[in-house]
Amino acid sequence: METNDAQPAARPLIVLTRWFDPSVAIAFGCIVVLLLLGSLYSPSFLSPEYLLQQLKVASFLGVIATGMMLVILLGQIDLSVPWVVALGGMMSSAIAAWGPVGEALAIPFGIGCGIGIGLLNGIGVAYLRIPSMIITLAMNAVVQGLMVVHTGGFSPQDSASAAMRFLATGFIIPNVPNSVLVWAVIGGLTIFVLTRTTFGRAIYAIGNSERAAYLSGAPTQRVVMATFAISGGLSAFAGVLLAGYASKAAQAMGDPYLLPAIAAVVLGGTSILGGRGTYLGTVAGVILITLLQSILSVMQIAEAGRQIIYGVVIIAMMLLYGRERSASNR
């Protein structure tokens, strides 16, 4: 009906807004504004080295936020991120200590552990119908317990394998850190899955209405379970990368990533209620959060001031474009 009414000139605009929804544009706009503000303070904020360094830091958050976004698109949430990240880092470096076989298996084993935990989360959410906020919270506590027993309460002694270090800090293409490449590959795959596969469409459909998706024949429970498994795997992979970056896993290494990951996804225009959002937005959100944290620390603002500004900026940006409709308009 609307195609009949639309002016010929208006059609490209509709296509354009579908590809590039306003919240993503605002998020990218905020990135530019942040960079300009930073460059007023110091011109080095616009140098390629600084920007690449930021992308490298952002890639860890980016990998985690990818999994978080998929889960949020379902209308669920994954609070098991902190210790699944630590699990990935610790398990991969623990296996790496087992000689050549261990070295080779380190990365897949770390990710596999994360997928396993994610799978359990998924079974809880999809088949036992436990609210995701609770089951992932409980699972986080269980994994924390497992890791405390594993390390004996001390910081783990195993160091990361050479492959993990290469993946996190090496360069295949000159000047482009490998971790950025890893994020790019994961991001590309995610865009493909979300826009070009039935699995991706099912994720959006479930986020809008799981009932409707079920009635239209989507295997909703399997999709939900698989999505949580992917999220767990990606969190653990980020842990593997982080362990490679610091050449060691650490207790609580994943703690600073949970809330920024959720914030990044939401700042990127993904609805926390599910069913709406683009991966490009998540990329923007991740870069935005990373830049904000970096600029605040470069300006040598004390931790207290950084936290306050961080919170105020998130609220201000959400007020710009993250508002819901009021009850009277629903």
Partner 1 sequence: MKDWRFLIREQRGTLIAMALFVVMFTIYVTNHPAGFTLNVVTTASNKGVLLAFVAMAQTLVVVTAAIDLSLGMIFVLTNCLASWLVAGSPLETAFGVVAVLAAGLACGMVNGLIVIYGRLQPIVTTIATGAIYFGIALLLRPVPGGEVNQDLADALTGKLFDRVPASLVALLAVVLLIWIPFRRSLTGRAAYATGSSEAAAYMSGVPIRRARFVAYSLAGLLAGIGGLFLTFFTYSGEASAANGNTYTLYSIAAVVLGGVSLFGGVGSAIGAIFGAFVFRTIGDLLFVFDLEPLWQPLFQGMVLLLAVCLGAFRLLQIRNRLDYFG
List residues binding partner 1 (CB under 8 A).
Answer: 77, 79, 124, 128-131, 133-135, 137-146, 148-149, 152-153, 210-211, 214-215, 220, 252, 255, 259, 262-263, 266, 272-273, 302-312, 314-315, 318-319, 322-328, 330
- CB closer to partner 1 out of 173 and 319: 319
Rounded to the nearest 10 degrees, how much is the dihedral formed by the CA atoms of 149, 154, 155, 156? -50
* Burial grade of 124 (CB within 10 A; 0-12, 13-18, 19 or more): buried
* Burial grade of 259 (CB within 10 A; 0-12, 13-18, 19 or more): middle
- CB closer to partner 1 out of 96 and 143: 143
CB of 230 to partner 1, least distance (A): 21
- CB closer to partner 1 out of 92 and 270: 270
CB of 60 to partner 1, least distance (A): 19
- CB closer to partner 1 out of 113 and 180: 113
Residue 184 is given by DSSP the state H
- Contacts for 95-99 with beta carbons within 8 Å, 24 or more apart? 96/158, 96/159, 96/160, 96/161, 96/164, 97/158, 97/159
- CB closer to partner 1 out of 201 and 306: 306
DSSP assignment string, 296-315: HHHTT--HHHHHHHHHHHHH
CB of 248 to partner 1, least distance (A): 20
Reference 286, options 261, 254, 310, 312; nearest CA is 261
CB of 135 to partner 1, least distance (A): 6
CB of 87 to partner 1, least distance (A): 13
